Structure 1
Amino acid sequence: MSTSETDTPLLQLAKDYVRLGGKRRSVVDDNVVSTRDWEPDSSEAEAFWKERVETLSADERKQVELYLPTINAI
């Protein structure tokens, strides 16, 4: 995924995670955001998630999760 001048830092975190082989998918159900991971992340993506995403505030983490590919129908 390419970087754009309009990318927010949180969008860029989501893009970097996916680029590193991250497999988590966002799920939005009754305005509650969570992630599902049916396939394991690459070791690089897992380390990135733990170091860069899990350390964010709850609101920031929710935003990153919303930028991930989703399992919800459009």
Structure 2
Amino acid sequence: MTHASDIAKEYQRLGGKRLAKIDDNMISTRTWEDEPAEAAAFWRENVEVLSEKKQAEVVTNLKTITTEQ
């Protein structure tokens, strides 16, 4: 596993609800549900502080919007 994968797995283990949106090589996240405070804090402390490139690596390890449909 990569460091980005480890971060994504821990975020999801904490109950994180963000889903990856990958469209024309644009990578972002979406969430429509409230997530536990612990998961939100983990995201702020471990993902938002990363460079844009490293954040994208983490996001690509999340479930995608299309896999949730």
Q: TM-score, normalised by structure 2?
A: 0.93
Provide the rounded CA distance (Å) in 2 between the counterparts of 1:60 and 1:41. 22
Which of structure 1's runs of 4+ aligned residues deviate more than 4 A?
none
Q: Which has more radius of gyration?
A: 1
Q: Does 1:12 align with 2:15?
A: no
Structure 1, unaligned stretches of length 5 or more? Answer: 1-6
| Cα shift at 1:36 | 0.3
Give the TM-score normalised by structure 1.
0.87
CA RMSD of aligned residues (A): 0.9
- Identical columns (%): 48
Name which structure has the greater RCO, CA cutoff 8 Å, separation 6+: 2
| Residue of structure 2 in register with 1:66 after alignment | 60
Query: Quick one: which of 40, 49, 55 aligns to 1:55?
Result: 49
- 2:38 aligned with 1:44: yes
Question: What runs of 5+ residues in structure 2 fail to find an aligned partner?
Answer: none
